[in-house]
A and B are shown apart, each in its own frame.
Chain A
Amino acid sequence: MMPAQVAAPDGVLLILALMLPSIGLLAIFVLGHSRPERIALPVLAANLAVALIVALQVGHSGQAATYRLGGWLPPLGITLRADGLSAALIAMAALILFVVAIYARGNFASKAGGSESRQPMVFWTLLLGLSTALNTVFLAQDLFSLFVALELLTFSAVPLVCLEGSRETLRAALRYLLFALAGSVLYLIGVALLYGAYGTLDIASLHQVTRADRATSIALGLMIAGLMAKAALFPLHLWLPPAHAGAPAPASAVLSALVVKAPFFLILRLWFDVAPQPQPVIAGTMLAALGAASILVCSVLALRQARLKLMVAYSTVAQVGYLFLVFPLVMGSEAAVPWASIGWTGGVLQLVSHAFAKASMFLAAGLIAEAMGHDRIDDLGGAAEAVPISIAAFALAGLSLMGLPPAGGFVAKVMLLTAAVVSANWWIAATILAGGLLAAGYVFRVIGRAFADPAGGAPPPKAVARSRELAVLSLAGVALLLGFLPLQPFAYLGIGQGGMP
């Protein structure tokens, strides 16, 4: 099997998306440099450029970009593929990682001339590790490569949680690792069963051949269960709040905004691209019910948190819950293909807008904690004066979580709501509305406290760098801009879906 076609330039970019961050992390590791951010920032900038070019090319050509590793055709070889959805998501991930990196210079910039120190070295290498992992998750077309990508994600994310090294963060990291490993191994069993049933792991090939039989259902059931643990879907969410709240702010931002989205993205791929259609209604309803439980339970828990970062972390579980509402909504829609339905589009938009909003929120929470010296919500009085831009960003991002106009979360939630009403899933509609109200409760609680007078005897707030505040605001701004998208399925996200070229 000689290479059957000449490598298209856009295809090579997919390789760069995987390899650039890997090379960057190896370089930081081997150079033992005292200033690792000097390698990481340019690499992440290049990664952003690559992702944007891929996204533009996909939009321009109206076709998915593909690359066959080593020229080997599936099912023997592995294919990378950027369809509209993947291209949008790698661009999203690259942008958030880049902005977080700019912000993180304030946390993990090392002094000139010093020797290598632990936290900067670990943070910057693992941030690049996350970049490789996310790009692989979004681009790989092979179920086993996706397993390796999930492991890349786990190995990059877990040490970030306990970067600080306190007992509690170590414990949170360990619990995260155990959940992630259990999830991986369930996924792996599913991969083995699918290979045994079909003799291929290529998603496009599987799409053609999957049957609705016992082996396939058990395989997909195990894989989805494993991914649910990684995506922190209720009741497998226990690991997430302490892990995301214990990590340093830039790490929390990436974990909440991007890392939990990767397993959800894979569930989406399994559900729409691998599983035999149509899916059993009961399975979709069960996922949505767990999503609804996540929204309600964790929103209430978020309301009751005393610490800002824990509140934001619980809000992540709730907001990820929205994503799982998609499955019955798509089944109930009359659109010919899932990606032409507003339920599917609303879910994707929720994924993207939550990513920007939550990244902004965690970074803002980090700045607020730096300025005030603590993150107790009740004692945040005076924060609005001390870090006005961060509070503004927090509020703007909060709009997205609540689903108020003009935020991106508004469009997403309205689309989900409409889909729920159209398909007569009234309980889903009610959950979406209740989740919005609860989110309003926990966001306004913070904003309200921030505008209160400072408590007597509190130490004066410390100043934080304006550039970092602007980075936070820019992410909230993107979340807001997404709100100006029209309320309809986007042709872009449909590019290359469903095994089409």
Chain B
Amino acid sequence: MSLLVDLVLVALILMAAVWTVLVRDRRDAVIAFIVLGLLLSLVWMRLYAVDVALTEAAVGGGATGLVLLRACARLLPVEAEGRLPGPGTQIAAGLLSAIAAAGLAAVVLSPPVPYPSLAALAAENIHQVGLGNPVTAVLLAYRSLDTLLEKVVLVLAVIGVWALTPDAFWGGAPGSLKSKHASGALDLLARVLPPFGIVVGIYLVWNGADHPGGTFQGGTVLAAMWLLMMMADLADPPEIRLKRLRRLVVFGPAVFIAAGFAGIFMSGWFLSYPPDYAKPIIVAVEAALALSIAVILGLLVAGPAAEPPKR
């Protein structure tokens, strides 16, 4: 019976994906992609990857969708939809993609037996980091270097987006996100939802140590609330020269790196945690990271500065 859910889900996903690629209108493609993101979060749930499902719901349904929709709103009057290539290219592209998909499908259909897994190894060691959620243990302990470098990627992405600021506007604020049409409903939503959202965000971060959830999921929800307030004109996008803002961006990565070096002195290795204090250290690092992620995601959506700094 539960396989029925899977079959329906796969059918819907394929429909949304085909729609995303084939629909003529750009904005319809984005909407179909958002729908796909929400459906995928249900897939992750069916795969019992709840942490990923939360991330996909927050990012796919929230952040990515907003970025793409903003782009559509600004592109529509300017850019033509572009002309598709001729039938020869289309057929060649179709063939190439079909071959790739067929090859991948063949791999899926012949899994190795027994299926390799690090689950046992992850379970054996989890007591050393004092966490209940194995995914958090991977992100913050076993493979913490990836997580740390990914935070550097995020800071570089902020710099990369800011790099697109016209010289005259450097230091100023990103363009307003506010909706062109004032609306009481939006205003109400942006006043009532954020308190809920902040509680949920903090809950997800806090809960992430032992249950599904974690920094990124919580941080994204927090970012969504900030963006909602910006869209309802209850908060202005901050000027990019602000020291306070930049400290918030760097805070999480800096705490993480500091914890890493502290590990060398406390237990011998960079990014190792002394077993007795592992959990509090990890939770502290996660909290700092969630704050930075919320700010970074908000800034990435807001984009480069669009007005000169105020004196």
Contact residues in A for B112 (Cβ distance below 8 Å): 196-197, 215
Q: Which chain A residues numbered 128 to 182 have a C-beta less than 8 Å away from chain B? A: 129, 132, 136, 142, 144-145, 148-149, 151-152, 155-156, 158-159, 162-163, 165, 170
Indicate whether B267 reaches chain A with its CB closer than 8 angstroms: yes
**Residue in chain B with minimal CB distance to A132:** B152
**Residue in chain A with minimal CB distance to B138:** A76
B142 contact from A70, A156, A214, Cβ within 8 A: A70
Binds B, one of A118-126, A428-436, A483-491: A118-126
Most buried by A among B142, B150, B261: B142
Most buried by B among A30, A119, A132: A30
Contact residues in B for A193 (Cβ distance below 8 Å): 104, 107
Chain A window 92-135, contacts with chain B (Cβ cutoff 8 Å), 1 for yes, 0 for no: 00000000000000000000000111110110011001001000
Indicate whether A239 reaches chain B with its CB closer than 8 angstroms: no
**Residue in chain B with minimal CB distance to A23:** B257
Indicate whether B95 reaches chain A with its CB closer than 8 angstroms: no
Q: How far is the CA of A125 from the CA of B161 in the complex (A)?
A: 13
A122 contact from B121, B162, B269, Cβ within 8 A: B162
B144 contact from A7, A70, A163, A165, Cβ within 8 A: A70
Q: Which chain A residues numbered 362 to 387 have a C-beta less than 8 Å away from chain B? A: none
Q: How far is the CA of A125 from the CA of B254 in the complex (A)?
A: 16
Establish whether residues B141 and A70, one from each chain, have CB atoms under 8 Å apart when the complex forms.
Answer: yes
Establish whether residues B163 and A129, one from each chain, have CB atoms under 8 Å apart when the complex forms.
Answer: no
Indicate whether A355 reaches chain B with its CB closer than 8 angstroms: no
Indicate whether A322 reaches chain B with its CB closer than 8 angstroms: no
Most buried by A among B149, B171, B247, B263: B149
Establish whether residues A7 and B170, one from each chain, have CB atoms under 8 Å apart when the complex forms.
Answer: no
B257 contact from A22, A70, A214, Cβ within 8 A: A22
Establish whether residues B156 and A70, one from each chain, have CB atoms under 8 Å apart when the complex forms.
Answer: no
Establish whether residues B107 and A77, one from each chain, have CB atoms under 8 Å apart when the complex forms.
Answer: no
Chain A window 64-77, contacts with chain B (Cβ cutoff 8 Å), 1 for yes, 0 for no: 00011111100111
Indicate whether B122 reaches chain A with its CB closer than 8 angstroms: yes
Q: Which chain A residues numbered 18 to 35 have a C-beta less than 8 Å away from chain B? A: 18-19, 22-23, 25-26, 29-30, 32
Indicate whether A390 reaches chain B with its CB closer than 8 angstroms: no
Task: Tell me how far the C-beta of B194 lies from the nearest C-beta in chain A, rounded to whole angstroms.
Answer: 27
A199 contact from B100, B117, B144, B241, Cβ within 8 A: B117
Q: How far is the CA of A71 from the CA of B162 in the complex (A)?
A: 37
Establish whether residues A77 and B150, one from each chain, have CB atoms under 8 Å apart when the complex forms.
Answer: no
Q: Which chain B residues numbered 86 to 135 have a C-beta less than 8 Å away from chain A? A: 100, 103-104, 106-107, 110-112, 115-118, 121-122, 124-125, 128
Indicate whether B250 reaches chain A with its CB closer than 8 angstroms: yes
Q: How far is the CA of A125 from the CA of B111 in the complex (A)?
A: 44
Q: How far is the CA of A192 from the CA of B250 in the complex (A)?
A: 31
Indicate whether A6 reaches chain B with its CB closer than 8 angstroms: yes
B146 contact from A32, A145, A170, A200, Cβ within 8 A: A145
Range of interface residues on chain A? 35 or more
Establish whether residues B170 and A162, one from each chain, have CB atoms under 8 Å apart when the complex forms.
Answer: no
Establish whether residues A115 and B171, one from each chain, have CB atoms under 8 Å apart when the complex forms.
Answer: yes
Establish whether residues B162 and A67, one from each chain, have CB atoms under 8 Å apart when the complex forms.
Answer: no
Contact residues in A for B162 (Cβ distance below 8 Å): 118, 122
Establish whether residues A71 and B268, one from each chain, have CB atoms under 8 Å apart when the complex forms.
Answer: yes
Q: How far is the CA of A200 from the CA of B144 in the complex (A)?
A: 16
Indicate whether B280 reaches chain A with its CB closer than 8 angstroms: no
Q: How far is the CA of A117 from the CA of B305 in the complex (A)?
A: 13
Contact residues in B for A448 (Cβ distance below 8 Å): none
Task: Tell me how far the C-beta of B67 lies from the nearest C-beta in chain A, rounded to whole angstroms.
Answer: 14
Q: How far is the CA of A19 from the CA of B264 in the complex (A)?
A: 13
Indicate whether B73 reaches chain A with its CB closer than 8 angstroms: no
Q: Which chain B residues numbered 66 to 97 have a C-beta less than 8 Å away from chain A? A: none
Contact residues in A for B271 (Cβ distance below 8 Å): 69-70
Establish whether residues B110 and A214, one from each chain, have CB atoms under 8 Å apart when the complex forms.
Answer: yes
Contact residues in A for B261 (Cβ distance below 8 Å): 19
Establish whether residues A116 and B143, one from each chain, have CB atoms under 8 Å apart when the complex forms.
Answer: no
Indicate whether B243 reaches chain A with its CB closer than 8 angstroms: yes
Known contacts A77-B143, A118-B165, A218-B107; is A69 also within 8 Å of B125 by CB?
Answer: no
Task: Tell me how far the C-beta of A296 lies from the nearest C-beta in chain B, rounded to whole angstroms.
Answer: 24
Q: How far is the CA of A394 from the CA of B112 in the complex (A)?
A: 55
Indicate whether A12 reaches chain B with its CB closer than 8 angstroms: yes
Indicate whether B213 reaches chain A with its CB closer than 8 angstroms: no
Indicate whether B291 reaches chain A with its CB closer than 8 angstroms: no
Establish whether residues A125 and B159, one from each chain, have CB atoms under 8 Å apart when the complex forms.
Answer: yes
Indicate whether B276 reaches chain A with its CB closer than 8 angstroms: no
Most buried by A among B121, B122, B249, B269: B269
Indicate whether B270 reaches chain A with its CB closer than 8 angstroms: yes
Contact residues in B for A26 (Cβ distance below 8 Å): 152, 155, 250, 253-254, 257
**Residue in chain B with minimal CB distance to A21:** B152
Establish whether residues A68 and B166, one from each chain, have CB atoms under 8 Å apart when the complex forms.
Answer: no
Known contacts A12-B264, A155-B153; is A29 also within 8 Å of B163 by CB?
Answer: no
Q: How far is the CA of A25 from the CA of B253 in the complex (A)?
A: 11
Chain A window 56-90, contacts with chain B (Cβ cutoff 8 Å), 1 for yes, 0 for no: 00000000000111111001111000000000000
Contact residues in B for A7 (Cβ distance below 8 Å): 264, 268-270
Indicate whether A444 reaches chain B with its CB closer than 8 angstroms: no
Q: How far is the CA of A185 from the CA of B103 in the complex (A)?
A: 16
A152 contact from B103, B156, B171, B264, Cβ within 8 A: B156
Chain B window 231-246, contacts with chain A (Cβ cutoff 8 Å), 1 for yes, 0 for no: 0000000000101001
Known contacts A159-B160, A165-B167, A214-B106; is A78 also within 8 Å of B146 by CB?
Answer: yes
Indicate whether B260 reaches chain A with its CB closer than 8 angstroms: yes
Task: Tell me how far the C-beta of B274 lies from the nearest C-beta in chain A, rounded to whole angstroms.
Answer: 11
Q: How far is the CA of A118 from the CA of B124 in the complex (A)?
A: 50
Closest 3 CB pairs of A and B: A199-B116, A71-B269, A159-B160
- Beyond the given A6-B268, A69-B145, A215-B107, please list 4 additional residue pairs across the A-B interface where CB-CB is below 8 A: A26-B253, A26-B257, A72-B141, A155-B156
25 A–B contacts from the bound complex (CB under 8 Å): A2-B128, A18-B145, A26-B257, A30-B243, A30-B246, A69-B145, A70-B273, A72-B142, A77-B142, A115-B241, A122-B162, A125-B156, A129-B152, A144-B143, A145-B145, A145-B146, A145-B149, A148-B150, A156-B156, A170-B164, A196-B115, A198-B116, A199-B118, A218-B103, A218-B104
